[in-house]
């Protein structure tokens, strides 16, 4: 019995690694697409055009949060609520149809209030007419919501391969459409918005067909009402996260020159790379945590998963902290290099935010979306308070410190509240070793800079390699993990020799 359980547990970890890898490929592809399109967009668009795009994106984000009510985010809870295939099909079908209905309502509301929305933009940002761009986005909202619901269903049913294929299809359509409309027909911002929505419509249609071939239409009105009630707190919480993420961009320029905002932006891009690492895992984990929490060995598996993800996050954080200075020195001019001093604080902030995200998943698992909303709004209140307290006096350092304080508060709330809902017993000794070693190495990297670029790169490599070596010396790994690691290395060596 124990051997069988161990086999099942090993399979879970393999699926976790496979899913995270496929999601990371998909997310990396999206970033790569932005790089590919950058030369085209910068050649055929003016800086003011980028401002229009930013306004359209932010406007549609807020409207989608408020009117879309995050309905697809509730699917995980209701999909695993009953251990019945028909009940799960009913939940998936209701979620998809509900998303389309919500999209239709949001689309009609957006088109009806198109002029007032555009007027608000004009009042806030000057004489900028984005009515046509908003109109295109509103028309496509039903399929945009359906696409979100489709991706949620793909993740929850553990189809990372399909997720990656759909993501790359969307990327391909976007690239081809942008080259055609922006570079070929010179449509400017209209071409970019049309390309983005064309990709949404195309991939949404593909996912809907894929969905309907595997799931019968079993709409449940009462279940939709329950999903709606479950989703409303999540939508309100998303508004709070929007404030946390973008509040500093609006407040900092009011107290400091734009040059400081530019340096802060560079440091922020480096710091948020830790989110890209965790985001790949979170895309898998936030969907599969509902099933994992129902396992008989969940009390063992979930703490072990946290130990592993914390190990990965810590290793990546150490790498970003010790390499950010030489990377910024190589890639930027001298006036931007002070960002290297600020970046470690932002890396630490998003390191803590990733831990918070892990624990906040349990709010939804236990059926308490209101906890998610409360945690986010407490974070938003702390964030705004510390922004106005620290930014006027300390500028970009105040903004970064406020972000770090906010995520620490949210992490403490998430850990405390999730423990009350389900008291998992985590591997405290191993966690302390990981955090302690990562903190010491990062502190050495920040406190003792090297002037020579070559020596700085060599020193950074040594510090990164020291992380696993010290953990091995501290006996972080269990005997079983060491045996499995040796077995994996032997298997990889055998495959390499066989292929050569």
Q: What is the pLDDT of residues 175-196, one digit of tens each?
A: 999 999 999 999 988 999 999 9
Whole-angstrom Cα Rg for the chain:
24
Let me know whether 87 and 129 are in one domain: yes
Residue 491 lies in a domain: yes
Predicted local distance difference test score (pLDDT) of residue 308? 95
Which of 188, 219, 250 delimits the end of a domain? 219
Task: State the pLDDT confidence band at 7, using cuts at 50, 70 and 90.
Answer: very low
Q: Is residue 10 part of a domain?
A: yes
Domain-located, residue 208 = yes
Per-residue pLDDT, averaged over 110-133, amounts to 78
- Does some domain include residue 24? yes
Q: Does one domain contain both 191 and 289?
A: no
> Does residue 365 sit in the same domain as residue 493?
yes
Q: Are residues 204 and 263 in the same domain?
A: no
Q: What is the pLDDT of residue 125?
A: 57
At 349 the pLDDT is 95
Same domain, 443 and 393: yes
Q: Which comes out higher in pLDDT, residue 434 or 5?
A: 434
Tokens of 39: 């030369």
What percentage of the chain has pLDDT greater than the value 70?
Answer: 93
Distances (CA, A) of 477 to 15, 217, 470: 21, 48, 11
Among candidate residues 397, 355, 454, 356, the one with its CA nearest the CA of residue 252: 397
3-state helix vs strand vs coil in the chain, percent to 5: 85, 0, 15
> Which positions ≥6 away from 183 have C-beta within 8 Å?
40, 43, 44
Same domain, 289 and 342: yes
pLDDT for res 18 = 87
The reply to whether 229 falls in a domain is: no
Structurally, the chain folds into a number of domains equal to: 2
Which residues span the domain enclosing 436?
Answer: 234-500
Same domain, residue pair 180 and 299? no
In a domain, 418, yes or no: yes
Query: Does the pLDDT value for residue 129 go beyond 60?
Result: yes
Is 60 exceeded by the pLDDT of residue 166?
A: yes
| 300-to-124, 143, 295, 348, 424 alpha-carbon distances in Å | 52, 40, 10, 28, 8
Helices and strands counted in the chain (H then E): 19, 0
Looking up tokens 């063992």 gives 300
Structure tokens at 301: 């598996």
For residues 353 and 373, give the distance between their C-alpha atoms in angstroms, rounded to a whole number.
Answer: 16
Domain end point (choices 219, 250, 284): 219
Q: Does residue 373 have a pLDDT over 50?
A: yes
Nearest to 317, CA basis, from 366, 276, 262: 276
DSSP conformational letter for 126: S
Q: How far apart are CA 57 and CA 49, in angstroms?
A: 12
DSSP H helical ranges for 366-478: 369-394, 396-421, 428-447, 453-473
Query: Is 3 a residue whose pLDDT tops 60?
Result: no
Q: Lowest mean pLDDT: which of 59-68, 395-404, 464-473, 478-487? A: 59-68
User: Do 150 and 47 share a structural domain?
Assistant: yes
Q: What is the pTM of this model?
A: 0.85
Do 27 and 165 have their domain in common? yes
pLDDT digits (tens, 9 = 90+) for 329-364: 887 777 777 888 999 999 999 999 999 999 999 999
Q: Which two tokens stand for residue 425?
A: 């017993």
More confident residue, 127 or 30: 30
Looking at the fold, whether 498 and 459 belong to one and the same domain comes out as yes
Q: For residues 180 and 194, give the distance between their C-alpha atoms in angstroms, rounded to a whole number.
A: 11
- Answer yes or no: do 152 and 125 share one domain: yes
The larger pLDDT score, comparing residue 48 to residue 314, is at: 314
Q: Could you tell me the two tokens for 170? A: 């969307």
Q: Which range has the top average pLDDT, 121-125, 131-135, 400-404?
A: 400-404
Per-residue pLDDT of 422-455, as tens digits, reads 898 999 999 999 999 999 999 999 988 888 888 8
| Cβ(193)–Cβ(53) below 8 Å | yes
Average pLDDT over residues 475-482: 89
Count of positions (residues) in the chain: 500
Q: Are residues 145 and 267 in the same domain?
A: no
* 225 within some domain: no
Read off the DSSP letter of residue 448: S
- What is the residue whose two structure tokens read 């480096």? 270
The answer to whether residue 224 is domain-embedded is: no
- CA 19 to centroid of chain Cα atoms: 15
pLDDT in tens, 242-259: 888 877 877 887 788 767
Last residue of a domain, one of 155, 186, 219: 219
Helices marked H in 293-368 — which ranges? Answer: 298-331, 339-365
């Amino acid at each position: 019995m124990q051997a069988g359980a161990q086999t099942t547990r090993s399979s879970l970890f393999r699926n976790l690694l496979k899913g995270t890898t496929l999601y990371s490929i998909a997310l990396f592809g999206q970033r790569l697409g932005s790089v590919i399109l950058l030369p085209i967009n910068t050649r055929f668009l003016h800086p003011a055009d980028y401002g229009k795009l930013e306004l359209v994106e932010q406007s549609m984000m807020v409207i989608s949060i408020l009117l879309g009510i995050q309905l697809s985010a509730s699917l995980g809870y209701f999909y695993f609520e009953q251990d019945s295939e028909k009940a799960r099909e009913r939940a998936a079908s209701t979620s998809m149809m509900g998303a389309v209905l919500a999209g239709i309502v949001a689309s009609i509301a957006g088109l009806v209030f198109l002029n007032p929305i555009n007027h608000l933009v004009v009042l806030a940002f000057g004489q900028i007419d984005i009515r046509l761009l908003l109109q295109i986005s509103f028309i496509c909202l039903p399929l945009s919501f359906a696409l979100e619901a489709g991706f949620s269903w793909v993740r929850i049913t553990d189809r990372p391969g399909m997720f990656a294929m759909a993501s790359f299809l969307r990327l391909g359509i976007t690239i081809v459409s942008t080259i055609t409309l922006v570079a070929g027909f010179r449509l400017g911002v209209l071409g970019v918005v049309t390309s983005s929505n064309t990709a949404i419509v195309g991939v949404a249609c593909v996912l809907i067909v894929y969905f309907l071939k595997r799931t019968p239409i079993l709409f449940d009105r009462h279940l939709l009402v329950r999903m709606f009630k479950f989703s409303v707190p999540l939508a309100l919480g998303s508004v709070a996260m929007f404030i946390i993420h973008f509040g500093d961009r609006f407040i900092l320029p009011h107290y400091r020159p734009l040059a400081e905002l530019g340096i802060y932006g560079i440091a922020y891009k480096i710091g948020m790379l830790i989110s890209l690492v965790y985001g790949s895992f979170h895309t898998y984990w936030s969907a599969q945590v509902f099933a994992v929490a129902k396992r008989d060995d969940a009390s063992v598996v979930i703490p072990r998963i946290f130990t592993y993800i914390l190990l990965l996050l810590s290793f990546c954080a150490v790498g970003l902290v010790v390499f950010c200075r030489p990377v910024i020195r190589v890639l930027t001019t001298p006036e931007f290099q002070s960002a290297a001093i600020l970046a470690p604080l932002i890396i630490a902030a998003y390191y803590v935010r990733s831990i918070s995200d892990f624990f906040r998943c349990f709010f939804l698992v236990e059926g308490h979306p209101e906890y998610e909303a409360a945690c986010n709004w407490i974070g938003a209140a702390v964030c705004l308070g510390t922004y106005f307290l620290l930014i006027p006096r300390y500028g970009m350092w105040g903004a970064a410190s406020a972000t770090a304080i906010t995520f620490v508060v949210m992490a403490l709330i998430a850990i405390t509240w999730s423990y009350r809902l389900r008291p998992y017993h985590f591997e405290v000794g191993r966690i302390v070793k990981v955090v302690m070693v990562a903190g010491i190495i990062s502190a050495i990297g920040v406190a003792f800079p090297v002037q020579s670029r070559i020596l700085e790169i060599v020193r950074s490599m040594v510090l990164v390699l020291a992380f696993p070596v010290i953990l091995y010396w501290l006996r972080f790994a269990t005997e079983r993990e060491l045996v499995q690691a040796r077995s994996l290395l032997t298997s990889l060596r055998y495959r390499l020799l066989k292929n050569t």
